[in-house]
């Protein structure tokens, strides 16, 4: 099976963000990958059963519980979304992922600390971690040059 690239759906223009918008990236390499049919877009939070729009969520730094801005525990939905994402990735033959930076699901290496005060912490989102633990190389959308180099190596 031809290898595939999992990508946060909001990065390819799908309106799945908590506020109903997207984070569409208009860059040549994504257009090329889209034309080649190698992109597998998904949104872990929607897969976990959360609605669009929804309240913004953050991972509590100490406990890794995920809460929304009202303080409600949404960890189960985030865990479900991560498992569904991994399942889809495996089925599709994904070898790498390009995920939205700083999201509590998709963020890689840097996310918000659960205080809803725009404070960063060195950690990754729930789905990002699960994909990495299962051998899928993850890049943020701010690392597209590295992602492209990795993809060329694979090809
Ligand atoms: Fe985008 Fe990931 Fe947030 Fe979904 S969970 S809106 S794909 S960053």
pTM: 0.97
Measured from the CA of 100, which atom of ligand 1 is nearest? 8
Taken in order 15, 47, 61, 58, the sign of the CA dihedral is positive
Cα distances (angstroms) measured from residue 100 to each of 25, 92, 154: 10, 20, 22
Q: State the pLDDT at residue 62.
A: 87
Integer Cα distance of 64 and 111 in angstroms: 12
Query: For residue 149, how far is its CA from the centre of ligand 1 (angstroms)?
Result: 24
Query: For residue 86, how far is its CA from the centre of ligand 1 (angstroms)?
Result: 14
Q: State the pLDDT at residue 109.
A: 98
> Is 17's C-beta closer than 6 angstroms to any atom of ligand 1?
yes
Which residue blocks in 93-136 are alpha helix, DSSP H?
126-133
DSSP 44-82: HHHHTT--SS---EEE-TTT--EEETT--B-HHHHHHHH
Helix or strand or coil: residue 27? coil
Q: State the pLDDT at residue 154.
A: 82
Integer Cα distance of 145 and 54 in angstroms: 32
Integer Cα distance of 149 and 147 in angstroms: 5
Integer Cα distance of 50 and 105 in angstroms: 12
Strands 4-8 and 137-140: unpaired
- Residue-level pLDDT, tens digit, the chain, 155 residues: 889 999 999 999 999 999 999 999 999 999 999 999 999 999 999 999 999 999 999 999 889 999 999 999 999 999 999 999 999 999 999 999 999 999 999 999 999 999 999 999 999 999 999 999 999 999 999 999 999 999 999 86
Angle at CA of residue 81, ends 75 and 83, nearest 5°: 105
Query: For residue 144, how far is its CA from the centre of ligand 1 (angstroms)?
Result: 17
Q: State the pLDDT at residue 155.
A: 67
């Amino acid at each position: 099976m031809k290898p595939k690239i999992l990508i946060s759906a909001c990065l390819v223009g799908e309106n799945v963000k908590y506020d109903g918008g997207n984070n569409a990236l208009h860059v040549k390499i994504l257009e090329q990958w889209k034309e080649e049919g190698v992109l597998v877009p998904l949104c872990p939070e929607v897969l976990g059963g959360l609605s669009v729009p929804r309240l913004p969520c953050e991972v509590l730094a100490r406990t890794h519980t995920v809460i929304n801005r009202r303080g409600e525990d949404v960890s189960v939905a985030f865990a479900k979304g991560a498992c569904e994402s991994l399942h889809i990735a495996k089925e599709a033959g994904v070898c790498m992922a390009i995920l939205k930076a700083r999201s509590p699901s998709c963020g890689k290496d840097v996310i918000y600390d659960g205080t809803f005060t725009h404070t960063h912490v060195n950690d990754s989102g729930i789905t990002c971690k699960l994909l990495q633990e299962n051998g899928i190389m993850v890049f943020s959308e701010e690392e597209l040059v590295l992602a492209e180099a990795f993809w060329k190596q694979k090809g």
